[in-house]
Structure 1
Amino acid sequence: MTTNLPHVLIVLHDFSLGGTERVALRLANAWTAAGCAVTIFAGSDAGPLRDLAGEGPGIILARPAIPRGPRSRDRLGRAARAFAAGGRFDVVFVAGNYHWPVAAAFAGLDIPVVAQVSAALDKPQRGVLRRWGFERRMRRLLRHADAVVTLSDVARDQANAILRRPAATTIALPALSDAVPPPTATPDTTAPLVMAAGRLVPEKGFARLIEAFAALSQCDARLAIVGDGPDARSLHDLAERLGVAGRVTFSGYVADIRPWLDEARLFVLASDFEGFPAVVVEALAAGRPVVATDCTPATGLLRAPGAGAIVPVGAIAGLTRAIERLLDQPPPDPHALAASVARHRIGPVARAYLTLFADLRR
């Protein structure tokens, strides 16, 4: 192992099925492959992503375990600080908004802390008072973070404005493996498949998507919703009431959405708000255009020719029109769409983090 590579400490609450945890584990494996020593300090061993850690990074579990609950992130931060106090780590990586209390716990310890912004910083539904409270809490928790990583320039500028200091830098979301398969040709079928994916919760907008789909003039189109969550039953019932249950497939959770993307004509993101959703990158990498609500800075990717369409949040009729327009158009060049998101491969993203770590150590 090259001696000037850092020993990275990653703090996770557990191995829950979340985008934050998935990204952290992908980075851990990439940094290990690059020759870094990587240690994951986790509050518990629970969660389906445990196997994603592989054999490379070392995993240390809190004793006693710290399950999720009230103030559990504060306890996790204190336990991680006590573990790191021996001084053998060169940088601490705090994965996503959920883990920000960990960053606060490391204040005063002589280890650079890099905190990631993974979720939207500006959610319109917060209102003025809740937005004030969120920004105040963010400043408090990240006050001593040496660097803040955002996933887009829009989020970078928002973070710097909230923190009132130029702490943030943009590093792309590592949504793609370096071995991601090349894009496939769009299926030539008389029953085109419209696809969506995500946790089945209200803010993901699946109810609006089903309503928009039911209003399509292309009555032979099909809809696949990939994911699971508490709204599964109500979404099934909605499809029944609207008379489209025979053309809507609910797959449940799948570990890899790529086989579904390969069968799809286009992908739809109908959320109220998002940070920088990996599914948009994955869809474009598969060569599929995307219809998305204007809920995330990731919609900037859709301004490339043929990449898709952006509609206002909550606009059911707008979703219907955009889906119909893309179904009526010839499919875009899948290789051009894939090339537009090449910077989201894990290799260049992991190297960008290592450059940031080196700058902080200097």
Structure 2
Amino acid sequence: MCSDPASILIVLHDFSLGGTERIAARLAAAWAKKGARITVFAGSGNGPLGVLAGDDVEVVIADPPIPRAIGSRRRLARAARAFVAKRRFDGVFVPGNFHWPVAAALAKRGVPVVAQVSAALDKPQRGRVRQWAFEMRMRRLLRRVDAIVALSDVARDQANRILRRSLATTIALPALPDDVAPPQPVPDTQPPIVLAAGRLVPEKGFSRLIEAFATLPECAARLVIVGDGPEAEGLRQQIHALGIADRTELAGYVTDIRPWLDAARLLVLASDFEGFPAVVIEALAAGRPVIATDCTPATRLLDTPGAGMVVPLRDGAALASAIETILAQTPANPITLAALVAHHRIGAVAVAYLTLFEGLQG
């Protein structure tokens, strides 16, 4: 890149509890650790994830702050454009589909812009008309960026098809720290724990998972759901209505899911759609198999025998059957499962991004 340390700007709306924000904060800290000068420009300081960036990252909050609201992404894009006009950067990172309007505002402003694809690009649930509209919007917002990072080869190929040029490259999701703990043996807990995790919103499928779990024999397992969100009270009522409160727990938000994975027999991802969920990688890194709906390219990680199962979308009976099947199997070697996701450690991912930025300097 330059003889001086690379100077990279990351633009975020805020530091809310989202996968995009978590990835961006982790990358900021990793890039700074490798000697880059990192600045995060945020619309507001709301949310708990800012601490993940660490003390070596400069955080600048828009003045006046821009909280999330209708039209706030356009205001964030204008504020970021004004900020870039005053400061010199070697590159700008715009994380996640949510921030694409910022990428459009900053592209071709004298600094390379790298936009990230974080969520599914092709969703059957959209239907043909809405999918067409999504692709037109993506083409409009990203047509002038310098590079696009996808989290899987599937998303890379979809992005290149939509944009009608080879602009996207694949860089693994930085879901794991470099010092991630080795997997622990599968516990002999009785009943075994079936774990699920994520924001408690309808598209995550927790209601369907609870309904499926209620059909299992009473002594088969204990269901623990980690996370918080607007559906929490409704899920709690559903659990009581189904009479499974004695074997189902809503554990709330936790800062570290690893202790829960160590205690679990398996993880279930019941979502309607996902980009490339970190929780699947974290579960495999902990040596735990995953049952996932066919909602994400990450399910390809489950092709290895013993790594888990993929079930159809919105099929509660298939979820219940898969849980019973995995519980009846002899657990796979946890070390073998962890090896499947070793390339998701943040050190190697951070270097891949820095190499990409370096290649964009012209």
Q: What interval of TM-score do these two structures reach, taking the shorter chain for normalisation?
A: over 0.9
Partner of 1:338: 338
Partner of 2:144: 144
Partner of 1:316: 316
8 Å contact kept, 2:107–2:146: no
8 Å contact kept, 2:195–2:266: yes
How far apart are the structure 2 equivalents of 1:227 and 1:87? Answer: 38
8 Å contact kept, 1:76–1:102: yes
How far apart are the structure 1 equivalents of 2:268 and 2:61? Answer: 39
Partner of 2:294: 294
Q: Secondary structure in 1 aligned to 2:194?
A: strand
8 Å contact kept, 1:200–1:227: yes
Q: Secondary structure in 1 aligned to 2:223?
A: strand
How far apart are the structure 2 equivalents of 1:44 and 1:327? Answer: 45
Partner of 2:268: 268
How far apart are the structure 1 equivalents of 2:355 and 2:318? Answer: 42
Aligned pairs for 1:1-362 within 5 A: 3=3, 5-86=5-86, 88-217=88-217, 219-362=219-362
How far apart are the structure 1 equivalents of 2:87 and 2:259? Answer: 45
Instruction: Provide, for residues 95-143 of structure 1, a one-character-per-residue CA deviation record: whole Å limited to 9, x for no partner.
Output: 1001000011113311000000011111222111111111111011101
How far apart are the structure 1 equivalents of 2:336 and 2:108? Answer: 48
Instruction: Provide, for residues 192-225 of structure 1, a one-character-per-residue CA deviation record: whole Å limited to 9, x for no partner.
Output: 0000001111111111111111112362410000
Letter paired with 1:168? A
Instruction: Provide, for residues 5-35 of structure 1, a one-character-per-residue CA deviation record: whole Å limited to 9, x for no partner.
Output: 4210001111111110110010000000000
Q: CA deviation at 1:59?
A: 1.1
- How high is the TM-score relative to the length of structure 1? 0.97
Q: Secondary structure in 2 aligned to 1:85?
A: helix
How far apart are the structure 2 equivalents of 1:5 and 1:119? Answer: 31
Letter paired with 1:233? E
- Following TM superposition, the consecutive aligned residue runs of length 4 or more in structure 1 with deviations greater than 4 angstroms are none
8 Å contact kept, 2:151–2:170: yes
Q: Structure 1 pair 220/312, CA: closer, same or farther in 2 (3 Å)?
A: closer
Question: Structure 2: 5+ residue runs without aligned partners?
Answer: none
How far apart are the structure 2 equivalents of 1:299 and 1:4? Answer: 41
Q: CA deviation at 1:87?
A: 5.3
Letter paired with 2:56? G
Q: Secondary structure in 2 aligned to 1:235?
A: helix
RMSD: 1.4
Q: CA deviation at 1:234?
A: 1.6
How far apart are the structure 1 equivalents of 2:193 and 2:41? Answer: 42
* Alignment length (residue pairs): 362
8 Å contact kept, 1:217–1:324: no
8 Å contact kept, 1:218–1:324: no
Q: CA deviation at 1:66?
A: 1.2
How far apart are the structure 2 equivalents of 1:173 and 1:186? Answer: 25
Q: Secondary structure in 2 aligned to 1:282?
A: helix
Q: Secondary structure in 2 aligned to 1:251?
A: strand
Aligned-pair identity in percent equals 66
Instruction: Provide, for residues 303-332 of structure 1, a one-character-per-residue CA deviation record: whole Å limited to 9, x for no partner.
Output: 012100000001111111111111001111
8 Å contact kept, 2:118–2:276: yes
How far apart are the structure 1 equivalents of 2:358 and 2:312? Answer: 41
8 Å contact kept, 2:44–2:67: yes
Q: CA deviation at 1:4?
A: 5.0
Instruction: Provide, for residues 238-282 of structure 1, a one-character-per-residue CA deviation record: whole Å limited to 9, x for no partner.
Output: 222222111001101111111110100000000000000000000
Letter paired with 1:219? C
8 Å contact kept, 1:154–1:297: yes
Question: Structure 1: 5+ residue runs without aligned partners?
Answer: none
Q: Secondary structure in 1 aligned to 2:60?
A: strand
Letter paired with 1:167? L
8 Å contact kept, 1:198–1:226: yes
8 Å contact kept, 2:15–2:48: yes
Letter paired with 1:80? A
Letter paired with 2:354? L
